[in-house]
Amino acid sequence: MGVTVSSVNRAQYAAAIERLGNSRVLHGSESLCRLLRYLAEHSLQNPGVSIKEYQIATEVFGRPPDFDPHLDSAIRVQAGRLRLKLAEYYSSEGERDPILVEIPKGSYSLSFHARAVANPGVAPVANTEPARKRHDILLKWALGVIALSILLAAGVAALVVKWENHLRYDAATAKQAAVPAAYQAFWRGFVSSPGEPWVVFSNAAFVGRPETGMRYRTSSDSNAFILDHYTGVGEVLAIHELDRVFHMFNEEVRVKRGSLFSLDDAKNNDLIFVGSPAENLSLRDIPMSQQFVFQRLGSGPRKNDLAIANLHAHPGEPPYFVGSAPNVPLSEDYAVIAFLKGLNPDNSVLILAGASTIGTQAAVEYVCHEDSLNQLLARLGAQPNTELKPFEVVLRVKVARGVPVESDIVALRREGEP
């Protein structure tokens, strides 16, 4: 039976949460520790008040305000993972803890239980009467049998819990083992890091009104009201693709729009940027591609159009990669895939950016589909079970009716190549 949270027991319950957060079972599970502490704080401060899934999504995991729990099961998945971790903890290193912490099914409010402690038995008083002696012997024998039965039942229950946890762990491990080798080779670093990677998508600054027409903000619009909450269809579909891949590994990502991203986010996290620096201005503050750089053309018939500059063009390669002109239907675009070291060399940065939103979509799909991933890994000469080395790639993207239909690598640089 759950113990009601009160001021008397608050310190004891808080100590139980600290033991869980510092346990071996939750070591390295930053997102689960964050969820546990949030639920504990809410349950201790607001006993009996339920927590909404939307609250957890937006306040703990940084989901956007339009998060819909009916369409996104991420919070239910995280709560399920935390339940398993709690069961694993109390069947191992926490088996003697005085307080049990649970997340009841169908709720996100924590339940605290005091572990029952048996009162020590009273030794029988010696009696010289034979009948009393026989009575005491029978009583001791009965108590011994009962105690042994209880211990046996507890042992069986512990074994069942451990076996169930083992089966669940094996199922998760088997699911990851079933992930195709190409995904494991490319995404290994991002899914094995202690923290969830940040996915930062571009959202350019617009001025105007949606109903009368919007345009990119320019230097002449310094006094205009800025709309910074729009992004392209390619970025939207790209986030969906990335979420699908991480779900294969039973992992999650944290999503943030570029206008809200800061250097503090970049210091100790793996980062995946979706969208070009022309819109994803946060890319300008972190390590960027050194071979293929987005630039506005300064002269010629395509002056001011966005292109990818080939800073160290190899023989047969153009100095610029330029897609379709802006005044004709988009039929060709170019995109960059760049895998780099972060501000902290222990972290990684992946840039997936097109000159247009459709090019961005193509870049993300290229690293999220098995056949194209195999082509990329073959071109890189990547070996199974080895660390992926930094590289930069340019894709030529063929577009039909606003959809990327074919992508090919037209330029590639590995780490250390001119």
Residue with the larger pLDDT of the pair 147 and 411 = 411
* pLDDT average, residue stretch 386-396: 93
Which among 163, 178, 193 is the end of a domain? 178
The label of the residue with tokens 């800073």 reads: 311
Give CA–CA dist 189/182, Å, rounded.
13
Tell me if 381 is assigned to some domain. yes
Specify whether the backbone of 227 is left (phi greater than 0), alpha (psi in -120 to 50) or beta. beta
Tell me if 351 is assigned to some domain. yes
Q: Are residues 94 and 35 part of one domain?
A: yes
Burial of 343 (0-12, 13-18, 19+ CB in 10 A): middle
* pLDDT average, residue stretch 162-176: 51
Residue with the larger pLDDT of the pair 31 and 245 = 245
Strand locations in 210-347, DSSP E?
A: 213-216, 254-257, 271-274, 292-296, 306-310, 320-321, 332-341
Q: What share of the chain is helix, strand, coil (3-state, %, to 5)?
A: 40, 20, 40
38: phi then psi, degrees, rounded to nearest 5: -65, -45
Quote the pLDDT of residue 266: 74
Quote the pLDDT of residue 76: 85
* pLDDT average, residue stretch 2-24: 76
User: Are 83 and 135 in contact, with CB atoms under 8 Å apart?
Assistant: no
Q: Are residues 263 and 245 part of one domain?
A: yes
Q: Are residues 127 and 45 part of one domain?
A: no
User: Are 40 and 26 in contact, with CB atoms under 8 Å apart?
Assistant: no
* pLDDT average, residue stretch 192-211: 84
Q: Are residues 331 and 196 part of one domain?
A: yes
Q: Are residues 232 and 145 part of one domain?
A: no
Instruction: For the sheet with 320-321, list strands across it.
Output: 292-296, 306-310, 320-321
Tell me if 2 is assigned to some domain. no
Tell me if 259 is assigned to some domain. yes
Render pLDDT for 75-124 as a digit per residue (tens, 0 to 9): 888 888 888 888 888 888 888 888 888 888 878 888 888 876 545 444 44
Tell me if 5 is assigned to some domain. no
Which among 160, 178, 196 is the end of a domain? 178
Tell me if 260 is assigned to some domain. yes
CA distances from 47 to 1, 5, 75 (A): 15, 6, 21
Residue with the larger pLDDT of the pair 231 and 328 = 328
Segments forming the whole domain that contains residue 401? 181-414
Tell me if 286 is assigned to some domain. yes
Give CA–CA dist 28/24, Å, rounded.
9
Q: Are residues 274 and 162 part of one domain?
A: no
The average confidence (pLDDT) of the chain is 82
Render pLDDT for 298-319 as a digit per residue (tens, 0 to 9): 999 999 899 999 999 999 999 9
| Banded model confidence at residue 42, pLDDT cuts 50, 70, 90 | confident
Q: Into how many domains does the chain fold? A: 3
- Is the pLDDT at 171 greater than 50? The verdict is no
Q: Are residues 295 and 245 part of one domain?
A: yes
Tell me if 4 is assigned to some domain. no
Q: Are residues 199 and 144 part of one domain?
A: no
Residue with the larger pLDDT of the pair 227 and 153 = 227
CA distances from 75 to 46, 57, 71, 82, 185 (A): 20, 6, 11, 11, 28
User: Are 112 and 13 in contact, with CB atoms under 8 Å apart?
Assistant: yes
Q: Are residues 161 and 68 part of one domain?
A: no
Q: Which amino acid appears at position 216 of this protein? A: Y
- Is the pLDDT at 129 greater than 80? The verdict is no
Strand locations in 7-77, DSSP E?
A: none
Q: Name the range with the highest mean pLDDT among 45-59, 154-168, 303-317.
A: 303-317
Which among 89, 114, 139 is the end of a domain? 114
What pTM value is reported for the model? Answer: 0.59
Q: Are residues 279 and 188 part of one domain?
A: yes
Quote the pLDDT of residue 169: 47
| Banded model confidence at residue 26, pLDDT cuts 50, 70, 90 | confident
Residue with the larger pLDDT of the pair 126 and 397 = 397
| Banded model confidence at residue 361, pLDDT cuts 50, 70, 90 | very high
User: Nearest Cα to 99, choosing from 31, 163, 40, 160?
Assistant: 40
Q: Are residues 161 and 236 part of one domain?
A: no
Quote the pLDDT of residue 242: 95
Q: Are residues 206 and 271 part of one domain?
A: yes
Give CA–CA dist 253/244, Å, rounded.
10
- Is the pLDDT at 245 greater than 70? The verdict is yes
